[in-house]
A and B are shown apart, each in its own frame.
Chain A
């Protein structure tokens, strides 16, 4: 065999090894975590690794649908994943989750109401709370005229003032976008009426010419760099942007603000269930929760963690929901299949 043939044979063997070796077997000291981007504090992971000797591997995703698709496709197995509220209900319905009874974990006593018994898993059989937050509008006050003030309304995002036209960023998260449009038009986001969806589609198509980018990653960075002047965004990202530039402000639209909660679950395919439970319990400790909030800019659900929060979190306009806006927060419910189909059609039409 010539030298070339050998080289080829060796590289094929190496490649095959990579493909099949990647699916390695479970070890006692391993944990595979699948979390949203920018949502895991490296310090917390380090601390967990130090305390338990378990080595954590982190992989990330940018939407609940991606998470479900990855889990369903198999191949990679994760021990802990973090779906949002309604997706926990869907995953339970689809029998994708391992029941581990979060209430039996020692740190669960730290969990505050209403996160100890949410609608999507009232007994906390399959999930434990991680962070919660809101989806609203972040914008740069530097773009305003002297004395100009924005209304707390989705109007500012969907029918932007002149200085924000062409400078808008929208989340490319179908659920958040549709819910925001539905709030603004005062339509039930789970509607099965094509006329309702037609109205939503019109609104989004009209808005499209003012939108610079549809993206859910790096929303804070594009706001700080001035690349985007107004972004449909999650409050933690708005907080991180505000920390960099105090001109960044956050709106709580009066028509309704999406309120969401992310949860730690153990997928059915998990290999290191005991390690996963240790991790989930650890994350519900006061210190880990506080560290995670300090890193992500989102609120945690752990009693006693607030003492350890950094000062900027306590002052941030994006984190502390003003008392009078409290009743604006609403969760996105899971919708019917028919409603989801119409929703997908509108979304594709908007992005075509």
Chain B
């Protein structure tokens, strides 16, 4: 039985998997109480390592950051244990000489640039990633694994090294410009690097596997008989794509977009190297606070403001998606 046929059977019993666990518990309940306790203890024991790791490496550092963001900055980095909201005020306001607050859009602009570049990255990654995923999903199963494997190959090399490689390709006397100039196509080097173009290109390159993999995952499970039905009902290829394939691949598209957008927002290496350090993104701004500016509370506050915006956006997205019938829960990766 081919994978495709196996998947075709799935819609018949979509609820089967999530229900099996509670059913087992119910079965145990009908037995003796000891069995229930053992079952609960077993689950707790299995959950503990995961919860422990999450608390240790996520909740604790976040709590520390939140605390730091409400403290007073010490002279040369570090904090003084005095409550202060200065870090958050500093995001929007500057203290004038007489200590009155003036509106300041410097940091907002950096946030706006980061969101703009991340949206562009997401858009380009989707435009390239969706057709790629569709192509892979349409290959015979034995080639698919190979192609997916190829998508993940760039991850084998360190991101920093790959970004340096792009510098060699893109710079004024780099491979691309030199080749084009030798061929006489251009007389002046194209400005491919140290600008927003270079940053976007680098981000798309870095994060595109995160777009391809989830879309492929949802396309691979797609019931192709529905597409055949669309053809039978008179749809052309474009109609079938627009009205059948894309709606069914939507969970993958949403997951891929989130997975590209969020890390792009926090990108640090790419804007530094391919942007030439001229156009700060949020990641660089935060680094600057812990480095040159030696203002840890403000760095922590910036990280929190970013976190809050991303969470808010995801919650709104999830709410909207639920109203329109798809929920993030349906999104599966791999």
Contacts and interface: CB of A to CB of B under 8 A. Distances in A.
Interface of A: 5, 9, 12, 16, 63, 65-66, 68-69, 72, 90-91, 94, 172-174, 194, 208, 211-215, 225-227, 337, 340, 344-345, 347-349, 351-352
B243 to A, nearest CB: 37
Interface stretch (B215-223, B245-253, B291-299, B303-311): B291-299
B110 A66 contact: no
Contacts, number: 78
The 6 tightest CB contacts between A and B, nearest first, are A213-B276, A214-B277, A344-B293, A174-B292, A65-B292, A65-B291
Given A63-B292, A227-B172, A94 B277 contact: no
Contacts of B285: 348
A211 B279 CA distance: 12
B280 A212 contact: no
A187 B74 CA distance: 27
Contacts of B172: 226-227
B280 A72 contact: no
Contact of B295 (A194, A208, A344, A352): A344
B277 A215 contact: yes
Contact of B49 (A12, A66, A94, A172): A12
Contacts of A194: 97
B33 to A, nearest CB: 25
Contacts of B43: none
B291 A211 contact: no
Contacts of A349: 106
B227 interface: no
B276 A66 contact: no
Given A63-B291, A94-B76, A347-B288, 18 more contacts: A9-B49, A63-B292, A65-B294, A66-B291, A68-B76, A69-B77, A69-B290, A69-B294, A72-B77, A172-B277, A214-B276, A215-B277, A225-B173, A337-B75, A348-B285, A348-B288, A351-B278, A352-B280
A213 B277 contact: yes
A107 B264 CA distance: 51
Contacts of B171: 225, 227
With a 10 A CB-CB cut-off, give which of B78, B277, B290 has the most chain A CB atoms. B277
A65 B293 CA distance: 8
Q: Which of A12, A16, A348 has the most CB of B within 10 A?
A: A348
Interface of B: 46, 49, 53, 75-78, 94, 97, 106-107, 109-110, 171-173, 194, 276-280, 284-285, 288, 290-295
Nearest to B167: A227
Nearest to B49: A12
A305 to B, nearest CB: 33
A337 B49 CA distance: 46
A300 to B, nearest CB: 28
A72 B171 CA distance: 37
A83 to B, nearest CB: 11
Contacts of B75: 94, 337
A66 B46 CA distance: 41
A16 B295 CA distance: 31
A215 B284 CA distance: 13
B293 A68 contact: no
A211 B278 contact: yes
A69 B46 CA distance: 39
B81 to A, nearest CB: 15
A68 B294 CA distance: 9
Contact of B109 (A9, A65, A69, A352): A352
Contacts of A66: 291
A226 B109 CA distance: 33
Contacts of B78: 72
A214 B278 contact: yes
A226 B178 CA distance: 13
Nearest to B110: A352
Given A344-B295, A348-B293, A12 B53 contact: yes
A294 to B, nearest CB: 27
Given A12-B49, A194-B97, A213-B278, A227 B293 contact: no
16 contacts: A9-B49, A63-B292, A65-B291, A68-B294, A194-B97, A213-B194, A214-B277, A214-B278, A226-B172, A344-B295, A345-B94, A347-B288, A348-B285, A349-B106, A351-B279, A351-B284
